[in-house]
Structure 1
Amino acid sequence: MDAVNEGIVAFNDVFWAYLLIPLLILLSLYFTVRSGAVQFRLVPEMFRAMRDDPGLAADGGKPISAFQAFAVSAAARIGTGNIAGVATAIALGGPGAIFWMWAMALLVGAASFVESTLAQLYKSRGKEGYYGGPAYYMERGLGAKWMGMLFAVIVIVTFGLAFTSVQSNTISAAVANTVSTATGADAAPWIPYAVGAVLAAVTAVIIFGGGRRVAKTATLLVPFMAAVYVLMGLAVVAMNVGQIPAVITEIVTHAFGIREIAAGGIGTAIVQGMRRGMFSNEAGLGSAPNAAASAAVSHPVKQGLVQTLGVYFDTLIVCSTTAFIILVSNPSYTAEAGPTLTQNALEANLGSWALHLLTLIILLVAFTSVLGNAFYGEANVGYLTGSPAALTGFRVLLIAVTFLGAVGSGGLVWTLADTTMGFMALVNLAALAFLAPIACRLLTDYLAQRKRGIDPVFTKDTMPELTDVDCWEQEDVARFRTDETTV
């Protein structure tokens, strides 16, 4: 097993450093230029777009709102990548990895805007609201059904299997660590099995309730857990405020190789920062568009802007919280640190109670990520087949993997997640390279309406040359045109 893990690690290092990261950077630069740096100049619009009223779905209930779609994607984003992933990036790449994580987030915000805007344009209508994602814009925008099917399979494997295993594995490790600290002895061998069983049972109750229940759960938990975690980080920073200038200097100097860093150089810092950043914020990966497509909004660009804000929220706020918690504690950089590095830093600053609270936060963020993973996986099972039996089978498989991840090998799980995420991003980026001009035309239409002082509304007859657009009929957005109120 060790030999298999080492082989996959070696492949990932080459694949990420020499293909995926350069491709993502080049395309994100293209998206930034083509959109007029949308991720920087329209930040106020991002907050405004989150307020759209979704109206009513075909079954009379509320469809998923712009904020709920944001919460679902944030639930998937704000997971172990923010706590264990950032700690791993620092352990392997030193403090400089954080600089490159920040830089990557600012750049790939453009990719997030493009993919989520396209997902909105090419979404489909269901009884409870809307659904869609990259598989749909690959088929309808590019006419490449084979590409959509390939992507859907990769999403199901990546989120239904690999990422879900990562989340439950991290919960199990965090619980074992806090039990060990509390008792002063090694955690009992049955603990991972108990954690896995409870996690699988609660997950089953929620995901069998459908997409609305997942969205409502995410809307309740995500703001709460993020607020508690950020407040803990602010407390640590306040206690060590005199060290902050030195920490920032350390991040910048290590980022550019001015001093030696633990893992051996600037290249490691760049790769680890960008890789873990992408694992965390998921921009360009093709995951968040599955949530973005479900929102009921008046213009596709609105949800593209909302999801871009999600990248900033994830990396610049939550990931930075982890980074400062660790770095003000003068950590010892070891490749085996994982979430334990964050836990130990909080315990050193706030006391043992903070370790136990962090365990609860890890449980919540990882659990909501499992729910987000289920949402993404179900959307793509639906793309491949409308069979209720297939959907039930996926849910059962995800629940089983949730349990198995809690008792499995952490190292191999992380390694496989890196691999599947890389292939998923590669397929999605290939589609975005060809479809980005459409997203930019939608942005032009949106800005033209904003300039006239009206709340932007889009219908398919605005761009009649676009074929295979399933929604955006007059009746789809009629409620948004009721008064043409200025904004």
Structure 2
Amino acid sequence: MGEIIVEFSNWIWGPPILVLLLGGGTFFFIHSGFIPFRKMGHAIELLRGKYDDDLAPGQISSRQALSAAIASTVGLGNISGVAIALNMGGPGAIFWMWIAAFVGMATKFYTCSLAIMYRGKDSNGVIQGGPMYVIDEGMGKKWKFLSYIFCIAGVIGLLAIFQANQLTAVIQAVLIQPDTLEETVRNRWIIGIIMMLLTATVILGGIKRIAAVASKMVPFMVGIYFFTVILIVFQYLGDIPDMFKLIFVDAFTGNAVMGGAVGSVIIVGARRAAFSNEAGIGTAPMVHGQSKNNEPIREGLIAMLGPFIDTIVVCTLTALAILLTGVWESTENDGVKLTLAAFEMGIPYVGKYLLMVSVLVFALSTMFTYSYYGHKCMNYLFGANKADYYNYFYLVTIVVGAVASLDVVVSLVDGMYAVMAFPNMIAALYLAPKVKVATKDYFNRMKSGSK
């Protein structure tokens, strides 16, 4: 079964999905008039709450929506995902992660604007947003099959099995260091159960509790991780230009990949960027669709900050720590263990504990938010009255993820992400002209002094 999952993931992450994500994102980038570059300042201004309206329909503020979205993206994808990218694609994969991030900013602008523009209601009459409602309300009932495809893949792909797996690995490596396979397996079960109980205390309280916790955890987790990596990078300041040169050269030569396959480097970079910032996958629109905002373009502008924070800032810091310390060439470790090796070398004795704290906060924050995404997909498929059952299924799979193999876990999540991307991107491309018109109208009103 594990081999089938890995083969399916490798098959679906071929040229079609790359063309859809990178090609579609490039189209949005150009179609929007390069809005990620031109309107970054305005997006930050919006994030400060200047135009917040507590009376607007929705459940959470735009800032809470971004925090919840970042809580799900700034996580282990940035710590172990970057390490996996370097293992599989070499330094050049980081360059393609950057490219995917910039076009991903445009993608999130479009998809999250649409999430407000085309909101629907669930079986209880509660206003909901997300790709499934965008498809229903914006494209019509004949496209409803795309909504079902998105939600079925979301129920599986948005489980926190990867986070559980990697958090368990780093706790064992730092604190426990078991001597036998039997001890390793037993410890994984124990850690998995503890994680399940911690997650339950938050997710059973619904989106408001998830958003409230995420808005407090995100600044803390990014701050401590940023500080720790800067301490490592500062020791190798003179080597930084060479590392950036290595990234750029390898991106177009593929020297670090067997056979010098540039195509493989691009695939690895795009795949890991999609897992890291989720642009084009359709998760962020589900939480931004709950924002108290009547202005679709404002929500889209706030949402586009996510990939920048996630990939351009946090992933780059992780990559530099791994590359500068040289552990990517001198160790056979994979995933979070490779990042752990970099932290141990960069900050002896203390580094591994700092990373463990970061991983703990990153993983838990992601677990909290992913539960909401999956719950929302379940809500759409089976109705609001049955959606809560998903939370219990979700909690059990945290334990499963803790004891499963990394290859199977990564492949299952990657495969379902790709399936989710197809309906989300098709809807966004189909409705892109609507976003273009709304963008022009919004900025004309801003110029005239009208909110």
The TM-score with structure 1 as length reference comes to 0.86
**What does residue 25 of structure 1 align with?**
22
**What does residue 405 of structure 2 align with?**
409
**Residue 262 (structure 1) shift:** 4.2
**What does residue 342 of structure 1 align with?**
339
- Aligned pair partner of 2:425 in 413, 418, 429: 429
Tell me if structure 1 keeps the 8 A contact 2:60–2:208. Answer: yes
**What does residue 157 of structure 1 align with?**
156
Any residues of structure 2 matched to 1:299-448 within 5 Å, and which?
299-333=295-329, 336-388=333-385, 390-448=386-444
**Residue 48 (structure 1) shift:** 1.5
**What does residue 135 of structure 1 align with?**
132
**Residue 405 (structure 1) shift:** 0.9
The letter for the 2-side match of 1:437 is P
In structure 2, what is the Cα distance between the partners aligned to 1:166 and 1:411?
10
**Residue 28 (structure 1) shift:** 1.6
In structure 2, what is the Cα distance between the partners aligned to 1:363 and 1:54?
34
Tell me if structure 2 keeps the 8 A contact 1:281–1:314. Answer: yes
**Residue 224 (structure 1) shift:** 0.4
Stretches of structure 1 lacking an aligned partner (at least 5 in a row): 456-487
**What does residue 208 of structure 1 align with?**
204
**Residue 120 (structure 1) shift:** 0.8
In structure 2, what is the Cα distance between the partners aligned to 1:260 and 1:327?
15
- Aligned pair partner of 1:261 in 253, 256, 267: 256
**Residue 204 (structure 1) shift:** 1.1
Tell me if structure 1 keeps the 8 A contact 2:157–2:414. Answer: no
**What does residue 114 of structure 1 align with?**
110
Tell me if structure 1 keeps the 8 A contact 2:17–2:422. Answer: yes
**What does residue 119 of structure 2 align with?**
123
In structure 2, what is the Cα distance between the partners aligned to 1:264 and 1:45?
45
**What does residue 287 of structure 1 align with?**
283
**Residue 146 (structure 1) shift:** 2.6
Between 224-233 and 426-435, report the one with greater CA deviation.
426-435
Alpha-carbon spacing, 1:311–1:351, altered in 2? closer, same or farther (3 Å): same
The letter for the 2-side match of 1:431 is A
The letter for the 2-side match of 1:41 is R
- What secondary structure does 1:190 align onto? helix
- Aligned pair partner of 1:41 in 14, 21, 38: 38
Between 273-282 and 190-199, report the one with greater CA deviation.
190-199
Tell me if structure 2 keeps the 8 A contact 1:155–1:377. Answer: yes
Any residues of structure 2 matched to 1:57-136 within 5 Å, and which?
63-124=59-120, 130-136=127-133
Stretches of structure 2 lacking an aligned partner (at least 5 in a row): none
**What does residue 219 of structure 1 align with?**
215
- Greater gyration radius: 1
**What does residue 228 of structure 2 align with?**
232
The letter for the 1-side match of 2:138 is G
In structure 2, what is the Cα distance between the partners aligned to 1:281 and 1:386?
29
In structure 1, what is the Cα distance between the partners aligned to 2:238 and 2:126?
51
In structure 1, what is the Cα distance between the partners aligned to 2:395 and 2:79?
23
The letter for the 2-side match of 1:69 is A
Tell me if structure 1 keeps the 8 A contact 2:232–2:346. Answer: yes
Tell me if structure 2 keeps the 8 A contact 1:86–1:323. Answer: yes
- What secondary structure does 1:371 align onto? helix
In structure 2, what is the Cα distance between the partners aligned to 1:79 and 1:128?
33
Tell me if structure 2 keeps the 8 A contact 1:130–1:295. Answer: no
Alpha-carbon spacing, 1:444–1:242, altered in 2? closer, same or farther (3 Å): same
In structure 2, what is the Cα distance between the partners aligned to 1:302 and 1:224?
25
The TM-score with structure 2 as length reference comes to 0.93
**Residue 336 (structure 1) shift:** 4.9
- Bigger relative contact order, structure 1 or 2, given CA contacts below 8 A and separation 6+? 2
Tell me if structure 1 keeps the 8 A contact 2:233–2:320. Answer: yes
Between 343-352 and 12-21, report the one with greater CA deviation.
12-21
In structure 1, what is the Cα distance between the partners aligned to 2:366 and 2:405?
19
**Residue 205 (structure 1) shift:** 1.4
- Report how many aligned residue pairs link the two structures: 443
Alpha-carbon spacing, 1:263–1:356, altered in 2? closer, same or farther (3 Å): farther
Tell me if structure 2 keeps the 8 A contact 1:57–1:128. Answer: no
The CA RMSD measured in Å over matched residues stands at 2.2
Tell me if structure 2 keeps the 8 A contact 1:138–1:147. Answer: yes
Equivalent pairs: percent with the same residue?
31
The letter for the 2-side match of 1:103 is I
